Amino acid sequence: MKIQTIATRPIEGQKPGTSGLRKKTRVFMGPGYLENFVQATFNAIGGAKNKTFVVGGDGRFFNARAIQTILKMAAANGASKIIVGRNGLLSTPAASHLIRLHKTDGGLILSASHNPGGIDQDFGVKFNTSNGGPAPEGVTEAIYDQTRALDSFDIAEAGDLDLSKVGETELGSMKIRVIDPVADYQDLMASLFDFDKIRELFASGFNVRFDALHAVTGPYAKAILEGELGAPKGSVVNAVPLKDFGGGHPDPNPVWAHELMDLMMSGDSPDFGAASDGDGDRNMIVGRGIYVTPSDSLAVLAANAHLALGYKSGLSGVARSMPTSAACDRVAEKLGILSAETPTGWKFFGNLLDAGRVTLCGEESAGTGSNHIREKDGLWAVLLWLNILAVRRQSVGEVLSDHWANYGRDYYSRHDYEAIPTDVANSLIHDLRSRLTDLKGQSFAGLKVSDADEFSYRDPVDGSISEKQGIRIWFEGNARAVLRLSGTGTEGATLRVYLEQYAPPEADHQLDAQSALNTVRVATADLCRMEEFTGRTNPDVVT
């Protein structure tokens, strides 16, 4: 094997965000762009020599070509072994499991998660460390430092490898093991859930519709739901992963999974609906005639996880991202377990999980997971819901009504203002930040501010501090708003506004969520001077 050392120079803008480096696909296809970032990653972790990695992605455009490049660079950098999914496919949860199962030194996951795919859409690469989780800030900062100093990268001069067949091959002295992307993950799910109970549920006539959105979870859902658990054929739709996700947006929310939502709200609704995203780490849960917010889903799963085999001994704690509603906090309080609040980004859950402080984690952006891996896991959440329904023999709506009667309901919604010019978005946040200390006691749209701050997090395990993680506004009457700029987009800035209004157990829990949140919505828009800064009066996406 001949190794080429290619001279290069730093490329600006290669700073990984909360989920790795995401850019437009054509940017990644540019000369040296992917190669620079991969070499910087290897350099940042002390080199690849004699190390083992997992490599795979969600099958989006450029996935196959990028994997061939990564394999050749890993070989040139002295890696000893690569585990890769057949045809380069691996869901993010499956990749996390493989890293942990085989005790590798980490993995390179190719995805832009829920972002659209295609040559004119989005692509991404992230490095997961040996615990299976996204690289912590110390590692991502080291990668960024390397991108700014890089002067060369190493790559093997070799033809492309055949990744279509399970088996082993070699590239120089590096072994490449091509595996079935589903098998090990399926075994893990079987160890966590009562598959016999779920089989009985389907045998009783219970119907499910799982929309894979032409993304990576399709083969996993087909194998587990229809293959092993006996859901009727055709229960999993849009199951073939496509490079452009069929021209759709692989984001499991009521806006982008509208076909599933329309079905679930119709007279022909199945008993249970679910969807997952581009790389399989997010989920949407829908009952007959009722949508389950990710915040409510986390709370319901926390309250009922003991009904599943893998969690029958109980939970050590529950963690949520700061913008996620406080619904799971109320469950944790009643269970007498830890409730942790972290910044947005799954990597912040990793230390808590590794230390055994929490068992379940969740984010309002449709991500839920547990200590079985170190990533959020869309299909895992679906299976846990099915396990709960199989034991309780209630509908999704009945489970939610019971939950609200016990804990109260946190009416909740996220409003996204997309593609705002970055300088405008930053100006809005800067202005609001400058007024935080003066907001307490002021009234907006009839709501009085009871407190306001900018969230800062001190990791209780390693002591690291993450500042400026979002602005929190509390109003009298158990209402809250959170404002933060998202790090997952590739164009302009997305301002996310999270709205929450608590209704206690004895209150009416059947109000329309947007109606229940209208006052806090208006108050928040006035408070942050939304129209003055952005010219916007309505969000682009409401979930």
Q: What is the DSSP string of 507-540?
A: S---S-HHHHTHHHHHHHHHHHTHHHHH--SS-S
Task: For residues 511 and 106, give the distance between their C-alpha atoms in angstroms, rounded to a whole number.
Answer: 46
Same domain, 415 and 475: yes
Task: For residues 6 and 33, give the distance between their C-alpha atoms in angstroms, rounded to a whole number.
Answer: 13
pLDDT in tens, 462-481: 898 999 999 999 999 999 99
CATH of the domain at 259: 3.40.120.10
What's the pLDDT at 313? 95
What's the pLDDT at 489? 52
What's the pLDDT at 506? 96
What's the pLDDT at 19? 84
pLDDT band at 284 (very low <50, low <70, confident <90, very high): very high
Residue ending a domain, choose from 159, 179, 199: 179
Same domain, 199 and 323: yes
Same domain, 135 and 10: yes
Same domain, 207 and 324: yes
**Is the Cα dihedral 267, 269, 271, 272 positive or negative?**
negative
pLDDT band at 122 (very low <50, low <70, confident <90, very high): very high
- State yes or no: pLDDT of 488 exceeds 80: no
Q: In total, how many domains does the chain have?
A: 3
What's the pLDDT at 1? 85
The three state secondary structure string of 78-123 is CCCEEEEEEEEECCHHHHHHHHHHCCCCCEEEECCCCCCCCCCCEE
Residue ending a domain, choose from 179, 200, 227: 179
What's the pLDDT at 183? 98
- State yes or no: pLDDT of 490 exceeds 60: no
Same domain, 53 and 109: yes
Same domain, 117 and 48: yes
Asked if 325 is an active-site residue, the reply is no
Residue ending a domain, choose from 407, 423, 453: 407
Task: For residues 6 and 38, give the distance between their C-alpha atoms in angstroms, rounded to a whole number.
Answer: 13
What's the pLDDT at 487? 58
Phi, psi torsion values for 339, nearest 5 degrees: -125, 120
pLDDT in tens, 184-228: 999 999 999 999 999 999 999 999 999 999 999 999 999 999 999
Output the pTM of the full model: 0.94
Q: Are 320 and 340 in contact (CB under 8 A)?
A: yes
Q: Which amino acid, 198?
A: I
pLDDT in tens, 508-527: 999 999 999 999 999 999 99
Print the domain residue range for 295: 185-407
Task: For residues 276 and 481, give the distance between their C-alpha atoms in angstroms, rounded to a whole number.
Answer: 27
Same domain, 151 and 219: no
Q: Are 444 and 529 in contact (CB under 8 A)?
A: no
Phi, psi torsion values for 350, nearest 5 degrees: -55, -50
Nearest to 417 by CA among 487, 364, 483, 494: 494
Q: Which amino acid, 238?
A: N
The percent of residues above 90 in pLDDT, for the chain, comes to 94
pLDDT in tens, 288-303: 999 999 999 999 999 9
Helix then strand count (H, E) for the chain reads 19, 27
Cross-strand bridge partners of residue 59 = none
Question: Token match 């309901």: residue?
Answer: 409
Mean pLDDT to the nearest integer, 304-308: 98
Same domain, 170 and 196: no
Task: For residues 253 and 248, give the distance between their C-alpha atoms in angstroms, rounded to a whole number.
Answer: 13
What's the pLDDT at 543? 85
Query: Comparing 142 with 137, which gets the higher pLDDT?
Result: 142
Q: Are strands 52-57 and 493-503 parallel, antiparallel or unpaired?
A: unpaired
CATH of the domain at 531: 3.30.310.50
- State yes or no: pLDDT of 23 exceeds 80: yes
Same domain, 400 and 415: no
* Residue of 19, 91, 96, 113 marked catalytic: 113
Same domain, 97 and 162: yes
pLDDT in tens, 228-275: 999 999 999 999 999 999 999 999 999 899 999 999 999 999 999 999
Same domain, 441 and 299: no
For the record, the structure tokens of 315 come out as: 């939970």
Same domain, 386 and 288: yes
Q: Are 234 and 186 in contact (CB under 8 A)?
A: no
Nearest to 497 by CA among 425, 435, 427, 447: 425
